[in-house]
Amino acid sequence: MSTEDLEKYEAEMELKLYREYRDVVKIFKFVVETDRRFYLCNKVDVRSKSEHGEVFFDVTMSDAWVWDMYRPARFARNVRVLTFKDVNVEELAPDDFEPPKG
């Protein structure tokens, strides 16, 4: 497989992922961003914890969709993320978010 073929494949996969995101975003209440992933979910709980002088975040989500083009199943019933990096949680209002048409 050439570099050009690989780039074309990745571009097609990302477009397919974006289209799936556009189709499912309206069924979720929250957007959650971590240092490694982007999630849509209907329930989220973020707790800061401290252990051995280090602070980290314990994030649990229910009914989640994961933005990851290499993941065969993007829907997950329960997700748990432990991270030392920032976590951003935004609540989506039903009419606030309208993804671009495309």
Confidence band (pLDDT; 50, 70, 90) for 71? confident
Where are the domains positioned within the chain?
Answer: 3-91
> Which is more confidently placed, 95 or 19?
19
What is d(CA 23, CA 102) in angstroms, rounded to the nearest whole number?
Answer: 11
Residue 28 CA to chain centroid, in angstroms? Answer: 11
The residue type of 16 is: K
Confidence band (pLDDT; 50, 70, 90) for 6? confident
Token pair of 82, please?
Answer: 């432990």
